Chains A and B, each alone.
Chain A
Amino acid sequence: MNALVALILIGALGFAMGRFLFLRPRPGTLYERFMLSGAEFLAIGAVIGPSGLQILDRWTLTNLEPFLILALSWIGLLLGIQLRWRHLIRFPWPYFQVSLVQGAVTLGLCFGALALLFFFWTPVVAAAADRWRAALCLGAVAALSSSTEAALHEPRAAKGGHVAGLLRFVPAIDPLVTLLGLGLLFSFWHSGRQAVGVEFSGFQWLLASVGGGLLLGSLFLLLLASVHQSDEAVLAVLGMAIFSGGLASVFHLSPLVVGLIQGILISNWRRQEDLLLNMLLKLERPLYVALLVLAGAAWRFDEPAGYLLAVLFIALRVGAKFLGVRTALAVTRLPFHVPGRWWLGLVPQGAMAIAVAVSYGLIYDDPLGRATFSAILLSTVVLTLLGRPLVHSALSDQEPAP
């Protein structure tokens, strides 16, 4: 099928079905049973993709890569643009401490465990560099949790209480650890030697990522200075998302990371980012649906290595999360008591995991990389389906709210 036509149809699906994604269940309505979790779109993608019915063949998927790059850039921008300093300081530092420590420890433990494991054994044949990369990628994904689950299943906001509030806060911030990990991955294990042909050290690539993000952010700001009308603003956002995503990809860096840095720069420099934020938010759901469908299509579900790795990863993730949260709570002084099972609420894995998987998969196409992609997709699905009971359990023995 022609790439453009496929894109239109997937886009139409995204707009039509996006509203049903993660619906807060309303008791007594049809929606309660009808909520979509995202796995459905992965399934649709898998069915129509090259490993399934081949409605979308591999060549078409390659032609759709620019769209994936746009989506990743968009997501990075969206994440970054929320991180406005004057909003960040409204939250107490211990909250940040919990999120960041939890993320870092989880990443470290998971990465360490996998690196050790891969030293001795991998589910598929893999070169040394590939093993480190895969371990770091999975570690980075382990660091993040899901804002969606926490928001969906918490008790009503008014009755929330501190514990539930913290549970919503952590997943909003721990993607930063993930993207830091991703940035390190793309820099220090740059696929570059073979593909880009320039010999930079890992540290130089890291500098390039950050510098590139800042430069692109400055360009964005300059551009926005000459924009006066809303259709010009749309062009600016579209153009910058595509350009920066493409630029990052050309250098085999992650559009997510570059977009994040851009977003942070923009949101802290200008006064009126609400316009940008709203514009980015408008496409959040359709883009995510499209991303899911294409990720599902790219997924080679006939390769068994992915399933094995998924099981391994889920086990490691749960363990690492537990220890990570324990550590974070131990070193942070919170003014309220956090119940023992609270860490379960951070186990579900959110949409960002899919984005990370796609970003990784666009560049690293070795067998272990594909298994990693597969593992991330599968673990996200499983953990999303378990989301509700996990969050309920996490919040079940919290103190009654005032």
Chain B
Amino acid sequence: MKLFVYVLNQQEKIDEVLSGFIEIGLTGATIVDSVGMGRILAKEVPIFAGFQSLLSGSRPYNKTILSVVEDDEKIERALALIEQICGSFSEPGAGIAFTLPLDRVFGLKPEIE
């Protein structure tokens, strides 16, 4: 049993990612709105996108996806899916993912295949 955590930077892809998760059988996840620290000291000064930068300000938002996964294979598939949608992890912009082993879990509903 692992906790799969993924910080998604490209917020516009959230729908695609979550739909993809459902398809590979990862049906339970919690989404948390989060803020990136690094980019507050941002280099992202607008050149032509002045108006857009006013909207998001200098605090870029991202989403953290938390999911309890029983099956390591699902994690592999999730990672492949993420790389397919957001780009390779080795390139900037795909976000960060990691897993944590879990000790005891309560309230987890059986996953729908």
Q: Is chain B in direct contact with chain A in the complex (CB below 8 A)?
A: yes
The answer to whether B58 touches A82 (Cβ under 8 A) is no
A: contact size bracket = 35 or more
A23 to B45, CA, bound (A): 7
When distances are taken between beta carbons in the complex, the residues of chain A under 8 Å from B12 are 272, 274-275, 278
Would you call B50 and A284 a contact (CB within 8 A)?
Answer: no
- B49→A284 contact, CB < 8 A: yes
Q: Which residues in A have their C-beta under 8 angstroms from that of B55?
A: 87, 90
Number of A-B residue pairs having CB atoms within 8 Å of each other in the complex: 71
Contact B41 A83 (CB under 8 A): no
Contacts of B51 in A (CB 8 A): 82-83, 87, 172-173
Residue in contact with A168 in the complex, picked from B47, B48, B54, B59, CB distance below 8 Å = B54
Q: Does B52 contact A (CB under 8 A)?
A: yes
Cβ-defined contact, B59 with A148, below 8 A: no
Determine which of A87, A157, A172 lies in contact with B50 in the assembled complex, contact meaning CB atoms within 8 Å.
A172
CA distance A83 to B51 in the complex (A): 8
Contact A24 B48 (CB under 8 A): no
Chain B's closest residue to A75 (CB) is: B48
The answer to whether B43 touches A147 (Cβ under 8 A) is no
Cβ 8 A contact of A169, one of B41, B54, B57: B54
Residue A118, interface by CB 8 Å: no
Q: List 6 A-B pairs, minimum CB-CB distance, nearest first.
A: A147-B50, A172-B50, A274-B12, A172-B51, A82-B51, A22-B45
What are 19 contact pairs spanning A and B, CB under 8 A?
A21-B47, A22-B45, A24-B43, A82-B51, A82-B52, A147-B49, A151-B50, A152-B45, A157-B58, A172-B50, A172-B51, A172-B53, A275-B12, A281-B52, A284-B48, A350-B47, A351-B48, A352-B48, A355-B48
Chain B residues in the interface with A (C-beta under 8 A) = 10-12, 41-43, 45-55, 57-59
Given A172-B50, A175-B50, A281-B52: 19 more A-B contacts, CB < 8 Å: A22-B45, A23-B43, A23-B45, A24-B45, A79-B48, A83-B51, A91-B54, A147-B46, A147-B47, A147-B49, A151-B45, A157-B57, A168-B54, A169-B54, A172-B54, A173-B51, A284-B49, A350-B47, A351-B47
